[in-house]
Amino acid sequence: MSEYVVGLTGGIASGKSTVGREFERLGVVVVDADLAAREAVAPGSPGLAALIERFGVEVLDATGALDRAAMRRRVFGDPEARRALEAIVHPRVREAMRQACRAAPGPYAVAMIPLLAEAGREAYPWLQRVLVIDVPTDVQRARLMLRDGIDAGLAQRMLDAQASRAQRLAIADDVLVNDGNPLALAGHVAALDRRYRSLATV
Encode pLDDT of 41-91 as tens digits. Answer: 999 999 999 999 999 999 999 999 999 888 988 888 888 999 999 999 999
Helical packing angle, 79-103 and 33-40, nearest 10°: 110
Query: What percentage of the chain reaches a pLDDT higher than 90?
Result: 78
What are the strands of the beta sheet with 4-10, ordered from one edge? 29-32, 108-112, 4-10, 129-134, 174-177
Quote the CA–CA distance of 19 and 9 in Å, as a whole number. Answer: 10
Phi, psi of 165 (to 5 degrees): -55, -40
196-202 average pLDDT score: 94
Mean pLDDT of all residues in 154-179: 92
62, 143 in Cβ contact below 8 A? Answer: no
Give 1's pLDDT tier (boundaries 50, 70, 90).
low
Name the E strands within the chain. 4-10, 29-32, 108-112, 129-134, 174-177
State the distance between the two ends of the chain, measured CA to CA, in whole angstroms.
Answer: 15
Bridge partners of residue 29, in order along the sequence? 109
Give the whole-angstrom CA distance, residue 135 versus residue 42. Answer: 33
pLDDT of residue 2 exceeding 90: no
